[in-house]
Chain A
């Protein structure tokens, strides 16, 4: 659905994008993550036609988005980080205004607006002024606005910032519904826990290029493999530590409360053999688990540029 290749953009001496490559499959809910200044908004502005790159190609629904800017406009809907509201319009007027911006008028526009307001749970506020809506409602209205022309790709820049948990949940539910309907969604956000709950794919951008991308499952698996093993023994802790020292995959051993925390560089098979060895040696193992990784931890690892820290790369 979206293919970005070798995208470069310079502002003065600052390389906002430095050869960005990205691909989003049809029907994916793609989380676009990166620290401030990594180039997320620049990339989004380029793919929505608000900015031209210095180099590179952007393809939306098989069309060259840089060459056929006007044709591509019907293929995507854009929700910016700031809502862009006309406070002095009523909700239905706001929707019909944007419908007419895509050439939709009359009954077709009215029906489409009603359908979308129903979908974003705003059908009871159609006669309210936009000004009177809460932040969450405004965000959902903005989402409905972006869907007015039934685009295949939806681009959302920090959509849930400033929302309360309830509105966030509702917004997430709407996004999942849209994804189930077959829409491809690109969502940039800083709230990583949220992205990990709803996204099917993820791309982490840093210094203008994608440093890690893949399906959410693959990425979390990578995080898990690099996380320490937490081993609990009922008794004979010293003997357990001696045994662990003999294993070549064990890098460091630490004691945290009642747990033995082991930096273990091995896969699931090596883990299984280590557990077998401990049990065979008669050590009463009461717990043996990988510490659960999350998107935050991998994000911190990747985007941390201090020397001596573990840095995961997509080749790992």
Chain B
């Protein structure tokens, strides 16, 4: 990737700007402050009640992880949705097409520089996340899983941004479409499942049961599969497993009803990560296709 001119140019421009160091400083400053306050609170509690609530350290872990996840999910599209359309607006895209750069070189250069930008932020905050290691309950494997989830979501959200950037001429329009699709993926799939769950609950509530028959639990049927493309559902599962033993506000378990031990729910995290990686791959390939200046024309 170091040989990709677009990637190198993005790095050069970024290294010149004070914006990224300032963001890293501010982000880690806030996290460090939160961590210190958390520790202070724990110590104060020990002094007053002679008991230590280790869960507060897990809260800190959950707080930092959620903040980083939201950052990746909602800042990545902003970094990528204007990248190709910006080149088009500057009239530099056609110049790149006349060189030996291929559309995939351009897309990958743009995408990887944006992913790297945010992953630097994530890695820089690792020392604060690792504070939890002092007290246990979260181990190195959990951290690796979280980092894998972050990487997948970075490519996923960044890919959607770059696809619209390749498709649309104006950065503003591309931004709006990217966030619209992300909103649909994140909120829309949950809304669909909640709606179907409520519908099923009403149907079950209206059922006339035979004596001795237990009222079944409501589920959303196959619609739960739509959540496989929702990175928030994956993250909620990971964090729920690591921090609160599976319980989480956004947990998908309630949508499974009595099928709570099914294969899908047991392997939800790897399956959803695999599905999202595959979707990211398709999105990025589509972006490359859309960028090709002579894609739909006959010879």
Contact = CB atoms under 8 A, between A and B. Distances in A.
Interface string B1-39: 001010011001100100000000000000000000000
Report the interface size class on chain B.
Answer: 20 to 34
B16 A74 contact: no
Contact of A84 (B9, B94, B293, B299): B94
B293 A51 contact: yes
Contact of A51 (B92, B95, B96, B297): B297
Given A73-B99, A93-B12, A85 B92 contact: yes
Interface in A54-69: 54, 66
Contacts of B135: none
B124 to A, nearest CB: 24
A84 B90 CA distance: 6
A152 to B, nearest CB: 15
A52 B100 contact: no
A86 B13 CA distance: 10
A48 B297 contact: no
Contacts of A93: 9, 12
B298 A52 contact: yes
Contact of B94 (A66, A80, A98): A80
Interface in B64-123: 90-92, 94-101
A233 to B, nearest CB: 59
Contacts of B92: 84-86
Contact of A70 (B5, B9, B100): B100
Contacts of B222: none
Contacts of B297: 51-52
Contacts of A171: none
A73 B13 contact: no
A103 B97 CA distance: 14
B298 A101 contact: no
B299 A78 contact: no
Interface of B: 3, 5, 8-9, 12-13, 16, 90-92, 94-101, 293-294, 297-299
Given A52-B298, A73-B98, A80-B94, 14 more contacts: A48-B98, A50-B97, A50-B293, A51-B297, A73-B99, A82-B91, A84-B92, A86-B9, A97-B5, A101-B5, A101-B99, A101-B101, A102-B100, A105-B3
